[in-house]
């Protein structure tokens, strides 16, 4: 019973059993203890951390030269707290998914705490603001994390193994390319008196951001229109370049043309330059029918009758007749003069065929206000980035600032996805709809009808017709209870994954999950009450156990329990707990794991992306750079050295030794008290004898440290 009690407490709480929990199990059974653990807020802390591995959660950014306050995402913790609360509430997992992908589209109030759920999409790496890589990361965390498919493999070509064409990747690309993270994050907590000063300063700095954004938006579009001749000349005389779509410009000067606008001009002209077009029909005839590699263009006079018959704009015809161009640049200059003259003519409406080429959302020179940053020159970009970064720094330096949600919202202009041939954004190919994977929805599935499609995507992922989501989730739950999953690749259920030994069991668990309304707690109850979970991990040296060990050493047939080493969080939290130093405070801003004053659960320590503490590296913490399917388990010397030399361990040992003091000075009884506090059992006679001898030679602090270093404390049977 003691082994099962300890196993259950670590499974559901990540903490050693308390005396009360041991008594509860002894008096009322294991099921009563399970109910108590599931009702405790510590359950959400334990199982929320498992989900944060999948969500590649971190409290910091990964930008170049980001140090100190600059590296902190001040409100990342709101996502972590949302996850903990969701598990404690036993929120149905389909709703949990909907909120993480599209909380902004669920009709929630403007300050709803659930808006923090979209940290699932916004807390990934920044990739130095390369939008294509950010979207690729979002596709990866959604598909591997929720449906167990490696869709990102189809970025450059059809998936090599699974039935996922490149078109499916860019269908999802269109969903996330149509979504943006707002500068002004919605506040999801009511500010207290101590936070009012922050709110006032935040609004002041935010107004400066908005003012600069609006000014730059107006100025940059006006400049783009004035440079129409330069853009058209580039379109006519150069080939596309990858820089035109990389969204990664560090050294643009005020005099440079903007690569993104040039790219849109290329697409715009390519779509319009055809015979019979009233504006770009002449462009097609003059530039595509000139001699190869020649700067000279055909005479306009030979095309005039056809142009008049096809309805070419009279103003353009007049210019072509008055001063017929003979070279490519003369054509581009002529077009620029005619188009700009239409813009300058205030008597014309924006529907005028020439004027609307440079005015309005369909124009290559237009871009949404929220995307202005990408078009700024280096100096203005640095200034604007400093203002935006100042909002984060202000929040970091304001410990009483009310929490805000790191959300997404649909862009003003939805992105129309196309396949990037070979993954190259400068080689746009066939258009594709924003829709779900064809292998799960069929080749005739309709495009997502609502905005960016994030909510439609969430519903498709949790649809009863999708066979993967519930199985992926059930497999992960099983893994955290048994140490090994049924499917050995929890984030890859594709054709390259190994077929599970217990496929029918996985199907049964997934079915139960759905029948129980996507609630996780009923599945926990089912698993921990099963004979399979309650098996012994110790293999007796007798038949048939020795035969079974030989035939199935990896325990694929689940004939015994797996002995598991405590992960970083459970190990550190255990040392705090048994030494009486654990701070039970939940939620809120993170603290450094290396701080000597940090006595909170490890869940609340800052998760770094760049300056990763040694203790985090050495104890196999999940990398926050991408979604983690499962943690590696290694045994390296640094782990033992940490337990020998770490100030954290030494303080814990000192505190444990101090807790064992009592009015009774008997050494043997104090040795027993340390065993009871640390290992939750009585010391054996041999342990008392050895402990007494050790204490007489080395003292109580080192004896307590030795007990904390035992395999019995660091492993779960």
| CATH number of residue 712's parent domain | 1.10.3130
- For residues 124 and 181, give the distance between their C-alpha atoms in angstroms, rounded to a whole number: 12
Residue from 449, 400, 405 nearest 109 by CA: 405
Predicted pLDDT at 541 = 82
Is 166 a member of any domain?
no
DSSP character string of 505-567: HHHHHHHHHHHTTT-SHHHHHHHHTSTTTT--S---SSTTHHHHHHH-TT-TT--SPPPEE--
Helix axes 521-528, 2-12, angle to 10 degrees: 160
Is 90 a member of any domain?
no
Is 517 a member of any domain?
no
- Residue 213: CB partners within 8 Å, gap ≥ 6? 183, 369, 372, 373, 384
Using CA atoms, how far residue 509 sits from 432, 475, 505, in Å, is: 36, 8, 6
- For residues 27 and 317, give the distance between their C-alpha atoms in angstroms, rounded to a whole number: 96
- For residues 22 and 282, give the distance between their C-alpha atoms in angstroms, rounded to a whole number: 87
Cis peptide before 646 (omega within 30 of 0): no
Residues in the chain: 717
Residue from 267, 216, 218 nearest 244 by CA: 267
DSSP character string of 332-387: HHHHHHHHHHHHH-TTS-TTSTTHHHHSSTTSTT---GGGGGGGS-HHHHHHHHHH
Predicted pLDDT at 344 = 95
**Over the stretch 90-126, which tens digit does the pLDDT of each residue have?**
999 999 999 999 999 999 999 999 999 999 999 999 9
Is 180 a member of any domain?
no
- For residues 171 and 437, give the distance between their C-alpha atoms in angstroms, rounded to a whole number: 8
Q: Which two tokens stand for residue 575?
A: 């040392």
Residue from 521, 465, 471 nearest 497 by CA: 471
Residue 345 C-beta-side C-alpha neighbours within 13 Å: 18
- For residues 691 and 578, give the distance between their C-alpha atoms in angstroms, rounded to a whole number: 18
- For residues 568 and 586, give the distance between their C-alpha atoms in angstroms, rounded to a whole number: 18
Looking at the structure of the chain, the number of domains it has is: 3
Domain finish residue from 24, 39, 54: 39
Domain finish residue from 302, 337, 372: 372
Chain center to CA of 169: 17
Using CA atoms, how far residue 342 sits from 156, 201, 347, in Å, is: 42, 45, 9
- Residue 612: CB partners within 8 Å, gap ≥ 6? none
Task: Sort strands 715-716 and 179-180 into parallel, antiparallel or unpaired.
Answer: unpaired
Is 163 a member of any domain?
no
Instruction: State which residues of the chain have pLDDT below 50.
Output: none
Question: Which range of residues forms the domain containing residue 586?
Answer: 568-618+635-717
Domain finish residue from 333, 354, 372: 372
Is 208 a member of any domain?
no
Cβ atoms of residues 692 and 667 within 8 Å: yes
Structure-token match 């609006």, residue found: 214
Predicted pLDDT at 247 = 54
Report CA torsion sign: 524, 525, 530, 536: positive
Is 164 a member of any domain?
no
Predicted pLDDT at 249 = 55
Structure-token match 């009709």, residue found: 107
- For residues 504 and 510, give the distance between their C-alpha atoms in angstroms, rounded to a whole number: 10
**Over the stretch 365-376, which tens digit does the pLDDT of each residue have?**
999 888 898 899
Predicted pLDDT at 250 = 56
Q: Which two tokens stand for residue 598?
A: 């940090």
Is 121 a member of any domain?
no
């Amino acid at each position: 019973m003691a082994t099962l009690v300890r196993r259950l407490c670590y499974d559901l709480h990540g903490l050693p059993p308390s005396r009360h929990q041991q008594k509860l199990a002894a008096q009322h059974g294991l099921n009563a203890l399970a109910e108590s653990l599931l009702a405790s807020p510590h359950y959400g802390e334990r199982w929320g951390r498992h989900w944060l591995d999948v969500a590649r959660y971190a409290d910091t950014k990964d930008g170049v030269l980001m140090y100190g306050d600059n590296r902190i995402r001040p409100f990342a913790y709101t996502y972590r707290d949302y996850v903990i609360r969701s598990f404690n509430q036993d929120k149905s997992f389909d709703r949990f998914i909907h909120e993480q992908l599209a909380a902004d589209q669920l009709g929630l109030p403007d300050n709803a705490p659930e808006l923090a759920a979209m940290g699932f999409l916004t807390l990934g790496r920044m990739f130095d603001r390369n939008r294509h890589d950010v979207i690729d990361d979002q596709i990866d965390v959604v598909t591997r994390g929720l449906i167990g498919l490696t869709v990102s493999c189809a970025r450059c070509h059809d998936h090599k193994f699974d039935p996922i064409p490149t078109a499916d990747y860019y269908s999802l690309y269109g969903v996330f390319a149509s979504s943006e993270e707002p500068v002004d994050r919605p506040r999801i907590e009511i500010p207290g008196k101590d936070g009012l000063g922050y709110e006032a300063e935040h609004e002041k700095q935010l107004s400066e951001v908005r003012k600069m954004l609006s000014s730059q938006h107006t100025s940059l579009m006006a400049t783009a229109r004035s440079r129409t001749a330069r853009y058209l000349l580039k379109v006519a005389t150069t080939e596309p370049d990858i820089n035109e779509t990389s969204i990664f410009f560090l050294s643009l000067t005020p005099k440079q043309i903007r690569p993104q606008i040039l790219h849109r001009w290329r697409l715009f002209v390519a779509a319009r330059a055809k015979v019979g077009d009233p504006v770009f029909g002449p462009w097609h005839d003059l530039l595509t029918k000139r001699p190869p590699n020649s700067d000279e263009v055909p005479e306009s006079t030979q095309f005039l009758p056809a142009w008049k018959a096809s309805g070419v704009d009279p103003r353009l015809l007049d210019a072509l007749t008055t001063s017929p161009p003979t070279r490519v640049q003369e054509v581009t200059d002529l077009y620029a003069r005619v188009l700009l003259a239409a813009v300058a003519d205030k008597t014309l409406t924006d529907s005028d065929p020439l004027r609307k080429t440079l005015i309005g959302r369909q124009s290559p020179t237009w871009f949404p206000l929220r995307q202005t940053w990408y078009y700024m020159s280096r100096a203005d970009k640095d200034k604007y980035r400093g203002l935006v970064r100042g909002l984060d720094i202000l929040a970091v330096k304001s410990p009483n600032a009310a929490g805000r949600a790191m959300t997404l919202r649909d862009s003003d202009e939805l992105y129309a996805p196309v396949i990037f041939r070979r993954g190259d954004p400068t080689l746009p190919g066939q258009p594709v709809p924003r829709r779900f994977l064809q292998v799960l929805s069929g080749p005739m599935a309709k495009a997502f009808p609502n905005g960016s499609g994030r909510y439609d995507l969430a519903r498709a992922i949790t649809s009863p017709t999708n066979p993967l989501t519930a199985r992926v989730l059930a497999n992960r739950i099983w893994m955290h209870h048994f140490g090994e999953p049924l499917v050995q690749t929890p984030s890859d259920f594709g054709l390259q994954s190994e077929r599970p030994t217990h496929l029918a069991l996985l199907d049964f668990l997934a079915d139960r999950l759905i029948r129980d309304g996507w609630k996780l707690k009923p599945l926990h109850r089912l698993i921990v009450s099963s004979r399979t979970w309650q098996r012994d991990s110790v293999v007796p040296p007798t038949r048939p156990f020795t035969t079974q060990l030989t035939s199935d050493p990896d325990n694929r047939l689940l004939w015994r329990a797996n002995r598991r080493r405590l992960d970083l969080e459970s190990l550190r939290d255990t040392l705090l707990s048994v030494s009486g130093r654990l701070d039970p405070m939940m939620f809120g801003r993170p603290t450094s794991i290396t701080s000597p004053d940090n006595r909170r659960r490890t869940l609340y320590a800052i998760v770094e992306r760049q300056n990763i503490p040694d203790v985090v590296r050495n104890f196999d913490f999940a990398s926050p750079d991408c979604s983690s399917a499962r943690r590696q388990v290694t045994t390296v010397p640094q782990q033992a050295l940490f337990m020998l030399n770490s100030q954290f361990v030494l303080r814990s040992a000192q505190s444990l030794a101090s807790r064992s003091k009592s009015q009774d000075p008997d050494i043997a009884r104090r040795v027993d008290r340390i065993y009871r506090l640390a290992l939750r059992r009585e010391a054996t006679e041999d342990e008392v004898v050895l402990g007494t001898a050790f204490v007489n030679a080395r003292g109580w602090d080192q004896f307590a440290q030795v007990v904390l270093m035992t395999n019995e404390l660091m492993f779960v049977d």
